[in-house]
Amino acid sequence: MNGDPVIFVPNRDQLWATGKYNEAGITAMLTHGKESHFEQGHSLSPNLYAHTDGKWQLYVPEEQELRKLALSVKRQRDGIDYAQQKNYLDKLHKQEEKDIFVASCQVYKRPDESLFSHCVWSNGVDSLLPETDFIVFMEDVKEKEHLTVGWHEAMPVVNSLMEREPELVPVRYRARKFPDDGQISQLRALAK
């Protein structure tokens, strides 16, 4: 099998399997299996799983091109799932007369065909943020003043302002308060 078993279950009718060191097999799973996941209905997981040390675990390949491919499938799924969730939450908030902005998970394609995601956190807006690759901090909506920081780089600065919503899948964070001037200065140093 060429390494620990790796599986991909794109929908309820298919299970793809190969070995962890079979790059051609993993490439096939992530390209052809991706089509099954998004186009044949009854989608299950966009993730790879490896059987390591006697248990199945989420697996992201170490080889850079395979990693990009695996993360792109995940980003595409995140975009779909977050859009469905946003639609549902917007209707619920309207019905309950709650003024909470449900931020979108925007997914973009790079020149190398890999995908990345971002959300917008606006100043003065009570928001529910999806977990994305980047956060766009919109300091001034009218002037379109903003800065973009990677999610993991921003967390040490803004984590105290975000509260994970335990009932929501995919995960969202409630952000009632925008970063203050000191935090914005720290984020500016991390901005892309």
Across the range 5-19, mean pLDDT stands at 93
Are 33 and 72 in contact by the 8 Å Cβ rule? The answer is no
Instruction: Extract the tokens encoding 64.
Output: 């850079």
Q: What percent of the chain has pLDDT over 70?
A: 99
Instruction: Extract the tokens encoding 127.
Output: 């928001």
To which H or E segment does residue 148 belong? strand 145-150
Question: What does the pLDDT look like over 135-185, one tens digit per residue?
Answer: 999 998 888 899 999 999 999 999 999 999 999 999 999 999 999 999 999
Is residue 18 pLDDT above 90, yes or no? yes
CA angle 72, 119, 84 (to 5 degrees): 70
Domain ranges of the chain: 5-59, 99-190
Instruction: Extract the tokens encoding 14.
Output: 């298919």
Q: Tell me what pLDDT residue 1 has.
A: 63
Mean of the per-residue pLDDT values of the chain: 93
To which H or E segment does residue 182 belong? helix 181-190
Question: What does the pLDDT look like over 95-150, one tens digit per residue?
Answer: 999 999 999 999 999 898 888 999 999 999 999 999 999 999 999 888 889 999 99
Across the range 37-62, mean pLDDT stands at 90
